Amino acid sequence: MKTQWVLLDVPEVRSYVLILPITEGAFYEWVGAGLTSAKIQGFNNGIMDLSTNTWIYKIGLQGEHLNIYKPDSLNQVNWVSTSEPPKNQPLTWYKVVVDSPPGDDPIGLDMIHMGKGLAWLNGEEIGRYWPRKSSIHDECVRECDYRGKFSPNKCSTGYHVPRSWFNTSGNILVVFEEKGGDPTQIRFSKRKLSRVCAHVSEDHPSFRLESSYKGADENYQNNVTVQLKCPSGTRISAVNFASFGTPTGSCGSFSKGECHDPNSISSVEK
């Protein structure tokens, strides 16, 4: 069992010890992992063992309980107005008033300069963001793709925000940052589609997410198809690549494999 020491300044008054666990795994209460005892060393009368003292356990943070991310509850706490918000500081709430991006293009929230946490717009939960994979220095790259089977290296940098959540002006973005980041670099970005692509296989269609919950030995009789749809007011102007066979590469850089049907492009263009 590992022992972790933390330097404390204990005043000569009634004091409280507050410990915040970031995560707890499955069966935490059974296997004895995590914090199992607490002691204070350095008093004249020796070591003070707090393990048998009465501890109070609280789930969540006070800001969550007060719903300070909702417009009608923002005044439940005293926000500190500043032109220089704290950077790389864990466990921090941020609030900023933003305008709605012009146009009709889809909107994304760019959080690549943040760590891990939650974001809300006008009380609507954008969701959990995780550009940093583990430690504060383990950054996510732009090309990181969170889709597919879970792995510890999964991360994402952009998060869709429905335009219906925006008001004409005075939109309130609230962010709770867990690890630390630079809130001055948070951006709303408009997505202008210039190309679309897809890749599926006969034995494992990538678009059928529910297939991961079915038995591996099941045979799927559904036909494998790819459906592409352009945003309103746009159309597909050309098919640059199509291959029925064993293509390789990724979106924008596909190439033909050893097996290729020469009629692939003409079939797609129809």
pLDDT of residue 235: 81
Residue 208's pLDDT is: 40
Enumerate the domain spans of the chain.
Answer: 62-190, 193-270
What percent of the chain clears pLDDT 90, i.e. is strictly above it?
31
Over 50: is that where the pLDDT of 215 sits? no
| Residue 124 pLDDT greater than 90, yes or no | yes
pLDDT of residue 216: 38
State pLDDT tens for residues 72-93. 999 999 999 999 999 999 899 9
Protein fold of 62-190: Jelly Rolls (2.60.120)
Residue 149 clears pLDDT 70, i.e. is over it: no
Residue 258 has pLDDT above 50, yes or no: yes
Beta-strand runs (E) in the chain: 39-43, 46-49, 92-98, 107-110, 117-121, 124-129, 158-161, 171-177, 187-190
